[in-house]
Structure 1
Amino acid sequence: MSSPLPADEPLICSARGCHAPAGWALRWNNPRLHPPERRKTWLACVDHRGSLGDFLDARGFLREVVPVAGSPTLDT
């Protein structure tokens, strides 16, 4: 199990090759593998919120998209 990030470490977008700060948490689960209450999280920057969300949603995995704590709410 990995250790939590230090409080001063910036949260970075989960998209491959992206190093932008994350503003959104895409909370998901795979119903074939996870109990209904379990949530995994991908982080997304403004540019990748849509594509990462679309990927998860197309598979029926996306449960919610919420702003990352400490970031402004970006309604797009």
Structure 2
Amino acid sequence: MALLPGEAEDEARCSSKGCPADAVWALVWNNPRLHTPDRRKTWLACDEHRVTLADFLTARGFLRDVVPVAEAPVDPGPPRL
């Protein structure tokens, strides 16, 4: 789950399945087979799930950056044609 336009940081929850914890980290990623090079998607993570979510993205070559939630980019969605 990424921060959506208008969503407050204090509403952000961890993206790990079933985790109700507040997000602390934003894992910024991109799947080069699906996304343009400048497109960034975001998963949110609590301290407990930061490593496992990052490992999942890293194993696939998708992870681009890990930043505090306050610095998470807003995903504008795919370009409109």
Normalised by the size of structure 1, how large is the TM-score? 0.81
Q: Secondary structure at the match of 1:35?
A: coil
Question: How far apart, in 2, do the equivalents of 1:7 and 1:28 lie?
Answer: 21
Q: 1:47 to 1:30 in 2, by over 3 A?
A: same
The one-letter code matched in structure 1 to 2:33 is: R
Letter in 1 for 2:12: L
Contact 2:27/2:65, CA 8 A, preserved across alignment: yes
Q: CA RMSD in A?
A: 1.9
Query: Does 2:33 correspond to 1:32?
Result: yes
For structure 1, the 5+ residue unaligned runs are 71-76
The verdict on how the C-alpha distance between 1:7 and 1:36 changes in structure 2, with shifts beyond 3 A counting, is same
Q: Which stretch shows the higher mean deviation, 4-13 or 23-32?
A: 4-13
The residue number in structure 2 matching 1:17 is 18
Select the structure that is richer in helix: 2
User: For residues 54 and 8 of structure 1, do their structure 2 counterparts lie closer, same or farther at Cα, with a shift above 3 Å needed?
Assistant: closer
Shift of 1:10: 1.6
TM-score by length of 2: 0.76
Identity percentage of aligned residues = 65
Partner of 1:53: 54
Structure 2: gaps (5+ residues): 72-81
